Amino acid sequence: MFYTTGTQVVADGKHSWQIDKSGDGLSPTLHGGTLYTQIVEGLLALAPRDGTERWRLDSVESPGPQAPGPTVVDETLVAATRTDIVGIDLTTRETWRTSHNAMRITGLAAGERGIVSAGIADDGAVVSGYALDGTKRWEKQIPPSDIGSDLFVCLSGHDICVLTDKGRLDALDAEDGTRQWQANLSSGIVGRPALADGLFLVPASENRTAVHAYDVQQGDAAWTQSVPHRSFSLTVVGDVVVVPLDGLENRTMVLSLADGTVEAEYQYEHELFANYAVTSEANITHLE
């Protein structure tokens, strides 16, 4: 198991190595035995066990604090900079670029049906869809009245969920951006959601701190599980949801994806104040 605490990387419960670079707190992605992350100076490809630098691209710098980290689809590493979405072929390292038209990028996701980005713009927010070669397919505007300071986006299969910190949720088709349905959720959205197995998962703290699950096809509530403290993000690992509890003795809860029941609870030696990553020997998922 790996997880990160700021710039430290912990492997199997022990502090293994540290990224001694100027970073913005972006989550890493592990693919094919290489750990990819972005810092102010560019994108790094690192050996996950000891942090040895394998290669870098100085032109793919971090998009800013608390922005989304890179992701991988079809052997293409997709990352955001302050102005562009960038695709890097992991075999040839050839790249493509396309503008995301946002002042501040807040969300990035990729899957077999395409790529989606979300960010804050001059007049509200903008959500854009791209083909896997970087061609922009569509763009949607969200008015300022529906957004505060943050915007989240998730993609799974042909489904996209876009959630603002004021609780506006749009379910879109990944290929053309067509709205499938819209809902207004709790206004107490406190962290980055997740989308998996037909469920949209949201951490919220209005009236009580809880994780809420909604059916992605219809928008109906599926389950709600109370947690003892707020969580700034969620991730799905197999058939469970990992929920780190901010500021609560480094505790992390593990919920059933099917019905939200508590399956386990862990306490870590290191403070989980930044990125959090869970991995098997082959795969890594992450929380920001």
Q: 28 or 43: which carries more pLDDT confidence?
A: 43
Question: pLDDT digits over 199-243, tens only?
Answer: 999 888 766 788 989 988 888 889 999 988 877 778 787 888 888
112-165 confidence digits (pLDDT tens): 889 999 999 888 899 999 999 999 999 999 898 888 778 888 888 788 888 888
**pLDDT for the residue 38:** 85
Does the pLDDT at position 22 exceed 80? no
Domains in the chain, please, with CATH? 2-287 (2.130.10.10)
**CA separation for the pair 190, 156 (Å, rounded):** 22
Going by C-alpha positions, the residue among 193, 21, 236 that lies closest to residue 9 is 21
Q: Which DSSP string do the residues of 63-132 spell out, in sequence order?
A: -STT----EEETTEEEEE-SSEEEEEETTT--EEEEE---SEEEEEEEETTEEEEEEEETTEEEEEEE-T
- On average, the pLDDT of the chain sits at 80
At residue 205, the pLDDT reads 75
The DSSP output letter for 146 is G
Provide mean pLDDT across the span 82-110.
92
Residue 107, pLDDT score: 87
Task: Give the residue with greater pLDDT, 238 vs 246.
Answer: 238
Structure-derived torsion over alpha carbons of residues 108, 255, 190, 38, reported in degrees to the nearest 10: -30
pLDDT tens digits for range 270-279: 554 444 444 4
| Rounded-to-integer distance, Cα 189 and Cα 141, Å | 20
The HSE-up count of residue 58 (CA atoms within 13 Å, CB side) is: 0
